[in-house]
Amino acid sequence: MKNLFDVSGKVAVVSGGSSGIGFMMAQGLLENGAKVYITARKVARLEEAQKELSAYGDCVAIPSDLSNLEGIEGFVAELSKHEDKLDILINNAGAVWSAPIDDFPEAGWDKIMDINVKGLFFMTQKCLPLLKAAGSKEDPARVINIASINGIRNSGMTTYSYTASKSAVVNLTTHLATDLVDRNILVNAIAPGYFPSQMTKAIVENDAMTQYALSKIPCGRMGSPEDIAGTALYLSSRASAFVCGHTIVVDGGQIATA
Ligand SMILES: NC(=O)c1ccc[n+]([C@@H]2O[C@H](COP(=O)([O-])OP(=O)(O)OC[C@H]3O[C@@H](n4cnc5c(N)ncnc54)[C@H](OP(=O)(O)O)[C@@H]3O)[C@@H](O)[C@H]2O)c1
């Protein structure tokens, strides 16, 4: 039973690792001995994150736009120059769009679906040869999709495409899991609640909105880096080798009381 949560020597990709939840999970993996590739569009922020994360271990930055096939193929081609296997793929890159229902624009639908759903699917597809090379029956390779509690219950916000995209992530996770398990690749998801990040900056920086958000969280606080990294480490390690196709809710009790 010793070292059940060990990820040392493993190779991981965290998409959207330059910021927020992705950065937190990348730090957790690095501090526990994994080599971590991070990717995002904005090069300056990505390089800054890579420098910060390098204090914890071997972190490599590869810029990419994962919302289209060309960007995904470019990323995987670059990754393949450095690695012949991939133990852990965390599909975390994502975006949100909010607008009243009467005015919700097509661009706000397509942009969110392209990165949150299409990008996640094709990133997984293009990484399959590397994942297959890493997995064994005893310790399969891992795909961890980042969903959201907003894909499970009605958030009450006008983020229509985000809601649909995150529900899609939950269901796609079970579908991919059943199709990939015989290749020794386990697929699971995490549905975070409220964590500080660029995406939630407007709430975090507004006292009234923060108080309102906190009043809905039974644990009385937002998520910490340890909360999300701990679940990512569990789903990345031998400890979860018999967990297949599930979404773990990490939300301080919001769904439980919804
Ligand atoms: N924070 C929360 O409370 C919360 C709750 C539930 C779920 N989530 C989910 O957690 C994930 C991370 O979100 P976050 O809150 O940490 O937000 P964030 O701080 O805005 O981080 C999003 C990351 O994704 C990257 N990204 C966005 N579009 C991309 C694209 N087309 N190609 C490549 N990278 C892209 C961003 O970098 P660039 O902009 O430079 O590309 C950034 O690194 C998302 O899937 C989000 O839906 C967050």
Q: Where are the domains of the chain?
A: 11-199+223-250
pLDDT at 116: 98
Relative to the CA of 21, which ligand 1 atom is closest? Answer: 16
| pLDDT class of 70 with cuts at 50, 70, 90 | very high
Q: Measure 103 CA to ligand 1 centroid, in angstroms.
A: 24
Three-state SS string across the chain, please?
CCCCCCCCCCEEEEECCCCHHHHHHHHHHHHCCCEEEEECCCHHHHHHHHHHHCCCCCEEECCCCCCCHHHHHHHHHHHHHHCCCCCEEEECCCCCCCCCHHHCCHHHHHHHHHHHHHHHHHHHHHHHHHHHHHCCCCCCEEEEEECCHHHCCCCCCCCHHHHHHHHHHHHHHHHHHHHHHHHCEEEEEEEECCCCCCCCHHHHCCHHHHHHHHHCCCCCCCCCHHHHHHHHHHHHCHHHCCCCCCEEEECCCCCCCC
The residue-averaged pLDDT of 159-187 equals 98
Evaluate if residue 126 carries a pLDDT over 90.
yes
The residue-averaged pLDDT of 162-171 equals 98
Confirm whether 162 is a catalytic residue.
yes
| Digit-coded pLDDT (tens) for 14-24 | 999 999 999 99
Above pLDDT 90, what percent of the chain?
99
Of the residues 14, 41, 155, which should be mutated to test ligand 1's pocket, given the most ligand atoms within 8 Å of the CB?
41
- The mean of the pLDDT values for the chain is 97
pLDDT at 79: 98
The residue-averaged pLDDT of 240-254 equals 98
CATH 2.40.50.100 fits 11-199+223-250, yes or no: no
pLDDT at 2: 93
The residue-averaged pLDDT of 44-59 equals 98
The residue-averaged pLDDT of 124-147 equals 97
| Digit-coded pLDDT (tens) for 197-217 | 999 999 999 999 999 999 999
The residue-averaged pLDDT of 134-155 equals 96
From the number of C-beta atoms within 10 Å of its C-beta (0-12, 13-18, 19+), residue 9 rates as: exposed
Evaluate if residue 258 carries a pLDDT over 90.
no
